[in-house]
Structure 1
Amino acid sequence: MAPEVFVQLAFLILTLGLFFAVLKLSKQALNKVRTKNRGTLQSNRHFVHGSHLLARARSTAHRDQSLVHAKNALAEAEKAISLSPRDSASHFLKALALDLMDRKTSALRSLDVALSIPCVKSLSERERGDALVKRAELKVAVNRRRRIDSAVEDLVEAVSRTESNSKALCLLGQCYEWKGLREEAREAFEKALTVEPGSLVAREGLDRLGSCSS
């Protein structure tokens, strides 16, 4: 066999080998993407179902039935998390279900995960603000004396992200009031009234502080 033919044959074999290697790797990558997409789709289904169950738990007047729906919502949230552990929304759903079941310390831990990196990257500014407000609520409920400063930090960040959040402003005003910071509390309540003129919480707060705000 001539040297030129031998070189060409060797080159052809090498080219075919590389082609099949790339083809195999491409198929493996495609399968991984398909598996990931399938897992994301299933996770979203569990999240949506859990959200519906949580809404039913909140809307029913019967405590026992509400707990049943909350427990089922929790189960759906955990299934969603098992498929997409970095999806902050599923951790948030889990926290809300736990809170409805009066498991506030566990709910607080779930919110800590939801607001941690990399999970928090999946939240919009508004969603992140809502999660911060909910975490602040839980901190105050679990142990106001020890956690109030941390709750204030969450609320200040929430307001900085969405200044139109009346609930955050009202809770921030209450926290300042508990800390004896009357002027800061008054300012927060007044801002809440600017956002939501009909807010009873803000007006009651200003009344306690002796404000003449109309």
Structure 2
Amino acid sequence: MERVDAWMACFALAMALVWGLARWNGMLGGGRSGWWRRKSQQRADCRQHFMAAAHLLARARRQRKELADEGRRSRGKSSSLARDAIRECDVAIACDPRDAAPHIVKALALQHLGHLTAALRSLNTALSPPASKSLTESERVEALIKRASISLDAFKTKRGVKAAIADLEECLALDSSPQSAAADAARQMLASCYQRMGGGASRVHE
């Protein structure tokens, strides 16, 4: 699970960087019309809030890790940063609700705060149309793995396991490469799910 969390943190920050560069390129290559300039500015504002959210979440994770390393329990600062990240995500979502990225980062921030059901709602939005159309195949795989992980934590019953199995099977349908770290993580999680359901690990995709 720690490997999945690390990948998702890197995934969120990578999206912030890629989309930040895309925003810059869009501003350089934008048209001359007032409409285009307004649309370009709106997109730039959305990305700015998204990048701020990703940065705040990274700081929250780093703060929590430092506290854990020091053996301290107080999480006030880390939680405050995560709440700030959620607020930035909400602004970005209001700008462009069809962009999956802010929904995913919001889900990660909610998970950081322990609000697992709310985190699942945000991931459900990101993985459903129209927001899902903005995801690449690899991004969808990462988001599905994260949703499966949260489902297992949120629901300590067969409901959570069945939901996780559905997501992990979709992951492997999209990416079953032996060289894929995401696929490897999905296989390991799926094997654990099948064992919890009493089916053993033999059903896992090869």
TM over 0.5: yes
CA RMSD of aligned residues (A): 1.8
Q: Deviations along 1:38-85, whole A, 9 cap, x unmatched?
A: 111111111111111111111113322211111111111111111111
Residue 154 (1) aligns with residue 167 (2): yes
Corresponding residue for 2:121?
A: 109
CA distance in 1: counterparts of 2:128 and 2:37, whole angstroms: 27
Corresponding residue for 1:99?
A: 111
Residue 135 (1) aligns with residue 153 (2): no
Larger radius of gyration: 1
Alpha-carbon distance, 1:105 to partner: 0.4
Alpha-carbon distance, 1:120 to partner: 0.6
Corresponding residue for 1:65?
A: 77
Residue 169 (1) aligns with residue 187 (2): yes
CA distance in 1: counterparts of 2:103 and 2:84, whole angstroms: 15
CA distance in 1: counterparts of 2:201 and 2:89, whole angstroms: 41
CA distance in 1: counterparts of 2:201 and 2:122, whole angstroms: 34
Match of 1:38 among 41, 49, 52: 41
Amino acid at match of 1:55: A
The worse-fitting range, judged by mean Cα deviation, of 84-93 and 163-172 is 163-172
The worse-fitting range, judged by mean Cα deviation, of 93-102 and 147-156 is 147-156
Q: Which secondary structure does the structure 1 equivalent of 2:114 belong to?
A: coil
Alpha-carbon distance, 1:126 to partner: 1.0
Q: Deviations along 1:5-59, whole A, 9 cap, x unmatched?
A: xxxxxxxxxxxxxxxxxxxxxxxxx443332221111111111111111111111
- Structure 2 residues not aligned, in runs of 5+: 1-32, 68-74
Residue 83 (1) aligns with residue 80 (2): no
Alpha-carbon distance, 1:109 to partner: 0.3
CA distance in 1: counterparts of 2:201 and 2:96, whole angstroms: 44
Report 1 or 2 for greater relative contact order, CA contacts < 8 Å, sequence distance ≥ 6: 2
CA distance in 1: counterparts of 2:47 and 2:39, whole angstroms: 12
> What is the TM-score when the length of structure 1 is the normalising length?
0.70
CA distance in 2: counterparts of 1:100 and 1:89, whole angstroms: 17
Residue 182 (1) aligns with residue 197 (2): no
Amino acid at match of 1:64: G
CA distance in 1: counterparts of 2:92 and 2:34, whole angstroms: 21
CA distance in 2: counterparts of 1:155 and 1:149, whole angstroms: 10
Q: How many matched pairs?
A: 160
Corresponding residue for 1:119?
A: 131
- Structure 1 residues not aligned, in runs of 5+: 1-29, 192-214
CA distance in 1: counterparts of 2:147 and 2:129, whole angstroms: 16
Contact 2:158 2:197 in 1 (8 A): no
